[in-house]
A = this chain, B = another copy of it.
Amino acid sequence: MRKILPQLFILTLLSSTAGIVAAQQLTPEQMIKNRKAGYEFMAWNMGKIKAQVVEAPNTYNKDQVMAAARTIASIANSGMGALYGPGTDKDAGSEKTRLKSEFFLPQNQDEVKKIATAFTGAANELEKVAETGNVDAIKAQFGKTGEACKACHDKFRKDK
């Protein structure tokens, strides 16, 4: 048994490591690149909604705003937490991060979770409200979603 157990342990370890590898092995550089892409693309879609419901409601197009809100919500729910792995608390390779390293401190994890949950909730609600076509309601929920973005920027982004 003494000989078999360690082997079983190693096999199990290898097998689960293989699983982790298969479930995407990203470098810190790639993780930072991917998460920045997610925020960039959400920002573009927030901009489209802002243009159509805040700046120029005469240009409002229900389908476009719905598509934008759906994109934001789907990115928010895409499991971006996986993109904050070890080594992504600072610039990596050619990728610079705007995230403060405090984001990763154990004592801030409750706050991070709270902010992330609030943002995802706001984005989900924005998607729902966009489907109603009620421009005033969309405008109000757009504002709340922006505030949910800002809560993280204020607390954890290097530049405001």
| Binary contact readout A75-92 vs B (1 if CB under 8 angstroms, 0 otherwise) | 101110001000000000
| A153 close to chain B: CB less than 8 A | no
Assess whether B67 is in contact with A71, with CB atoms less than 8 Å apart.
no
Question: With A67-B77, A75-B71, A78-B68 as given contacts, are A44 and B55 in contact (CB-CB < 8 Å)?
Answer: no
Task: Give Cα distance in the complex from A75 to B73, angstroms.
Answer: 11
- Interface bin, chain A: 20 to 34
Binding site secondary structure of chain A: helix
Q: Are A56 and B24 in contact (CB under 8 A)?
A: no
Q: With A41-B37, A64-B79 known to touch, is A70 a contact of B74 (CB < 8 Å)?
A: yes
Q: Give every chain B residue within 8 A of A71 (Cβ-Cβ).
A: 74-75, 77-78
Q: Say whether A133 faces chain B, with CB atoms less than 8 Å apart.
A: no
- How many copies the complex holds: the figure is 2
Q: Choose from B33, B59, B75 the contact partner of A23 (Cβ within 8 Å).
A: B59
Check if A36 is an interface residue, CB within 8 A of chain B.
yes
Q: A56: nearest residue on chain B (CB-CB)?
A: B22
CB contacts (< 8 Å) of A22 on chain B: these are 51-52, 55-56, 59
Residues of chain B contacted by A101 (CB below 8 angstroms): none
Residues of B within 8 A of A48 (CB): 23-24, 79
Which chain B positions have C-beta within 8 A of A34?
Answer: 40-41, 44
Residues of B near A37 (CB, < 8 A) are: 36-38, 40-41, 44
Between A and B, 9 residue pairs with Cβ closer than 8 Å are A19-B58, A22-B55, A22-B56, A23-B59, A37-B44, A45-B78, A67-B78, A73-B74, A74-B75
